[in-house]
Structure 1
Amino acid sequence: MASDSTIDTPDADRVYLFDTTLRDGQQTRGVDFTVADKAAIARALDQLGIDYIEGGWPGANPTDDRFFAEPPKMENARIVAFGMTRRPGRSAENDPGLAGILDARVPAVCLVGKTWDFHVDVALEIERDENVAMVRDSIARAVTVGREAMFDCEHFFDGFKANPDYALECAEAAYKSGARWVVLCDTNGGTLPHEIEAIVATVAARVPGTHLGIHCHNDTGNAVANSLAAIRAGARQVQGTINGLGERCGNADMMAIIPNLVVKMGMTTNVGADKLTQLTSVSRMLDERLNRSSDPHRAYVGAAAFAHKGGLHVSAVQKDPKTYEHVEPGIVGNQRHILVSDQAGRSNILARFAEIGVEIDPKHPKIQRLVDEVKEKEFLGYSYDSAEASFELLARRLIQGVPEFFTIERWRVMDERRFNARGDLVIESEATATLTVGGTAHHEVAVGNGPVNALDTAIRKALTPKFPAIQTMRLIDYKVRILPPARDGDGTDATTRVMIESEDETGTTWRTVGVSPNIIDASIAALSDAITWKLLRAGAAVPKTDA
C-alpha cells in the first residue's frame, strides 16, 4: 500500500540521493543484515536526509519479506522496493513476481531490466522487441497502481557502446511509460569518467536529466568519479551505498559523493550543511553493525582523513589548517588528529598537548626530552600514531606525573589441551596474577579463552572492587605484529608489538600499545595502559594504603 508521499515535480537544480546499502550493499561478501539492522540503518539514512532508501527485494528472502511487511516509518525518505520487470510471455497484470513487488507497503519501486542487446540475446534468449515491451508494460503497471516508478537500466553503458540505438530505445520506453527515474547502470563497473559524461549527455537529449539517475560500481576504482561525471552531464539522481559497500569491488561511496556534491560542486541536496555533520557517525554506525573495523583512510569520514604526522605539516596546520586540509573536518562530523611518531617535532607534541588538555610552556625543557623519548621508543617498536592513549600516559608521566593506581607484580599462564568426559577437545588457559592495590597485594586466578583473556579476567578480579569504573570497559580489537630486532644482533631476537583498542559505555574508544619479546608481556603492558587511561579519565582516586 502506498504512503501519502507525493511525487516531486522535476527540479533541474536539485540532486536526489538514492541509497542502496540495504539491497546492493547486502550483496557484499560477508554481509548479512538482520531485519533490525535494516531498520536501524534506514532510520539513520532518513535522519541524514537521503531521498530514497532501497530496502531490498520482496519475495527474495525471509529477511526482506519481514522488512517490507512492516517497513520503518520515515520522516524524509521514501522506502523503495526492488525487483524485476515482468517475465517473458506474461502480462504485467498476471506476473506473480511483479505483483509481489507492487504489493509491498512502500511508495516507490525500482524495476531492473536488460538494456544490453547481448544480454537479451544470450541471457534471456528472447526477441529484443519483447524485452522493450517488458520494460514498457512493467513501468506502466507500477504507475497505474500508484507507485513512483524507477527503471534500472542494467548494463546500460556496455549496451550503449555495443548498440546505442537499442539501449536508448529501452531507456525511452521506461520514460514514456511514466518512469519518474530512468537509472543508467554501470553494472560491470568498467566505464571511465569521460565515457560516462559523454554517454549521459547523449541520453539527456532524449530523456530529460531531471528524470535520469546514475548507478556505478567500483571495479576500476572510479565509481565516485563516474557518479559525479554523470551529474555534470545532467543526471539528477545518484545512487550509492554507505562506505561503498557492494558486490565485487563495491558501489559508489555515498560518504564521498554527498560532500563532493554539496561542498565541492555546490549542488542542492536534501543533505544540507546541518545534516552533513552526521556523515562520519553514519559511516561508523554501519561498520559497528557489521562488527568490523572502519577504514581509517576513507575519504572525508575516515579517522586518518584529517590526521597529520610530519612535523612540517603539523607546524603549518597549527598556523592555518587550510595549508594541508581541503575542507574543515567538522563539516562532515570528523575531527583533526595530530599524530605522534618518530617523525614528530615539537609542533606535534604541543598540538597533542592541546588536544588532551595539558597546558605547558612551549619552551619547557621536558618537551624536547619527550620528543627524544618518543623517537627512541618508536625505534624499539612502539607506534604512538595509532596508540594515542599510551602517548598521553607517556607524556603525562614525564611532564606532570600519573597516579599509580595499581602495580602488576607478577603473572603466570598455563595452557592445557585435553578431552573432557564427553570426548570433546578442550583448550583452556589458566592465569594467575599478583597486583598491589592501595598497598595491599591481591592474588587472583582465572580461566579464559586464551592466555590474554585469562590474564585480563584475573587482573579485573583484583581491580574491580577498588575501581568499579573499569566494569564498563571492554576490549574491541587486538592486533599483534612481529617486528624485526631494532638493534644489530641475533636475527631471531624479534620484538612483538600488541595494539589494543578499548571501548566504554559512552562509546569512547582508545588505543594502547605494548612492546616486548614476549607476546603475553606486550599484551599486559597494553592492557595496563588501557585500564590506567580509563581510570585517569574517570577521575578515579588512588586507594589509600591499608593499615
Structure 2
Amino acid sequence: MEKRRVSIFDTTLRDGEQAPRNTMTPHQKLDLALRIEALGVDVVETGFPASSALDAEATRLISRNLTRARFTTFCRALRSDIDCAVAAGGTRNHEVQILATSSELHLDRKRNISRKEAVHEIQDTVGYARRLGVPYISVGLEDASRGSDSLLRAQVEAGTDAGANTVVVADTSGCMTSEEYGELIGKIRSWAPPGVSVFTHCHEDFGLSTANTLAGLRAGADGMQTTLGGIGERAGNAAMEELVALLAYKSDTLGLYTDIDTAAMYTAYTALRDVIKLEQPRNKAIFGAYAFGSAAGIHQAGLLRDPATYEFVEPSRFGRERSILIARHSGRSVLRHLLAEMRVEVGEEELEALYRRHITERSGGDCEDISVLRGRLAEEMLALKATG
C-alpha cells in the first residue's frame, strides 16, 4: 500500500492557550513554538493578534524565529483582524486562518447575520488577505459539524474561489461520531478543488477526538490540527501524541504516516506543563504518569519476562520509561525477579515472609518504584549475610 504523509498543524499556542488557566507569555510561547517546530510539525499557530497586544507580540517573535515550519494567525472574517495579523507577522511564511460562521445555529444565535452575509465576508476577507500578499490562507469552518450542506458548500466554494489554500473542518462542539465526521470530511473534500488542502479540527467532548481525526484522515483529509497533551477548550482538542503514536504503529494498515520526532514529544509536553502549571494526569495515553507503569502482579509477571506481553506501545519510542510499581496488587514474581538479580536463593516460606514484610504490610494505598524495593531487599540480604 502506498503511504500518504499527514501534515500536522499545531494549535497548542492558540486553541490550547485559550482554555482556562493555560495563559502563556509571548516569550513562553516563543520557547514552546521552537520546541514544537523541532518535533517536525508543518504549521505552528501563534495566536489571535487582533485580540490582544500579547498575541500580537507572540506572533512577532515566533514569525521571526521559526526556521522551517510556517506560522499561522487566527482571524475573524474582518479586514481589521487581517491587518493586525500582517502588522505583527508580515507576509513571509504566514498563513492567515479566517474563521467562517458555518452553522445556522451560530448564524442565528451567535452572529445574528444571514447566510448570504456569512458567505460574502469569507469571500471578501480571503480576497483581501490575498491582495496583501499573504501566501497561505485557510478558511476555518466553525461548527461545521452542525452546518447544512448548502451553507458549508457555499463557504468552501467562495473561500477557495477567492484564493484560500486550505479548508479546516471544525467539529467545534465535539458532537460527532467518527462515522459522521468521516462522511463530512468526504463531502468537503469533494467540494474543495484539487490542490486545496483539507484539515481536521476535532474536540474531545465525547472522548472521540482521536477517533474522529483518524476517520477524517481516512476520508481524505490531508492534515490534522492538534495540541500537545490535547489541551484546549472544554475537554480539549485532538492530542498530537495520540495520533502520532497511532500512525507510527498502524502506518502500514492505514497507509498514513507523519515525520514527527516521537522521542522528543514528551520533553516538549513537559515544558508546556511547566509553563501552564498543568498537573500530569495519571492515566492519559502516551503522556500519562502511569501510561507505561504497572502495579498488578499478573501484568508484572509478564512484563518482567517479556515487555511485549503487556506493552504494545513502547515507552522508549516516546521518550518515556517503563515503571514497575509496588502496591498491594503486586505479586511474588517481582520478589523472585529481584532476588534472582541479586543471585539470592530463598525457600517458599522465606519468600512468603518477604512478601508480607515488603509488599502486603507496607504498600497500603501507595505505590513505590521497584528500585525502592530493590534497595530494601539488598539491605536486608546484606544484613542477613553479616549476621551469618
In which range does the TM-score fall when normalised by the shorter chain?
A: 0.7 to 0.9
- Of 98, 103, 126, the residue aligned with 2:82 is 98
Secondary structure in 2 matching 1:103: helix
Q: Does 1:42 align with 2:33?
A: yes
Aligned to 1:307: 293
For the pair shown, the structure with the greater C-alpha radius of gyration is 1
Aligned to 1:19: 10
Q: Does 1:135 align with 2:122?
A: yes
Aligned to 1:154: 142
Q: Which amino acid in 1 is paired with 2:323?
A: H
- Of 181, 184, 188, the residue aligned with 1:199 is 184
1:100 positional shift: 1.0
Q: Does 1:73 align with 2:65?
A: yes
Aligned to 1:224: 210
**d(CA) in 1 for partners of 2:122 and 2:140?**
10
Contact residue 282 and residue 288 of structure 2 kept, 8 A? yes
Aligned to 1:363: 345
Contact residue 165 and residue 195 of structure 2 kept, 8 A? no
1:298 positional shift: 1.4
Contact residue 350 and residue 362 of structure 1 kept, 8 A? no
| C-alpha distance after superposition, 1:519-543 (max 9, x if no partner) | xxxxxxxxxxxxxxxxxxxxxxxxx
Aligned to 1:424: none
| C-alpha distance after superposition, 1:178-205 (max 9, x if no partner) | 2221000011111111110112112222
- Of 348, 353, 356, the residue aligned with 1:372 is 356
Contact residue 110 and residue 150 of structure 1 kept, 8 A? yes
| C-alpha distance after superposition, 1:24-74 (max 9, x if no partner) | 111221121112211111111011111111110113123212212332512
**d(CA) in 1 for partners of 2:170 and 2:124?**
20
1:20 positional shift: 0.7
Contact residue 30 and residue 61 of structure 2 kept, 8 A? no
Contact residue 156 and residue 167 of structure 1 kept, 8 A? yes
Q: Does 1:397 align with 2:379?
A: yes
**d(CA) in 2 for partners of 1:251 and 1:291?**
18
**d(CA) in 2 for partners of 1:143 and 1:209?**
17
Q: Which amino acid in 2 is paired with 1:153?
A: L
Aligned to 2:259: 270
1:393 positional shift: 4.3
1:368 positional shift: 4.8
Change (3 A) 1:289 1:392: farther
Contact residue 17 and residue 239 of structure 1 kept, 8 A? yes
Q: Which amino acid in 2 is paired with 1:45?
A: I
Q: Which amino acid in 1 is paired with 2:232?
A: G
Unaligned runs of 5+ residues in structure 2 are: 384-388
Secondary structure in 2 matching 1:110: strand
Q: Which amino acid in 2 is paired with 1:187?
A: T
Contact residue 205 and residue 234 of structure 2 kept, 8 A? yes
1:231 positional shift: 0.5
Secondary structure in 2 matching 1:109: strand
**d(CA) in 1 for partners of 2:171 and 2:123?**
21
Q: Does 1:281 align with 2:267?
A: yes
Contact residue 12 and residue 210 of structure 1 kept, 8 A? no
Structure holding more strand per residue: 1
Contact residue 81 and residue 104 of structure 1 kept, 8 A? no
Aligned to 1:258: 244
| C-alpha distance after superposition, 1:111-168 (max 9, x if no partner) | 1111112322333233322211111121222233133111110000111xxx211112
Structure with the bigger RCO (C-alpha within 8 Å, sep 6+) is 2
Q: Does 1:164 align with 2:149?
A: yes
Query: How big is the alpha-carbon RMSD for the aligned residues of Structure 1 and Structure 2?
Result: 2.4
Contact residue 50 and residue 75 of structure 2 kept, 8 A? no
| C-alpha distance after superposition, 1:61-97 (max 9, x if no partner) | 23212212332512332121111112xxxxxxxx322
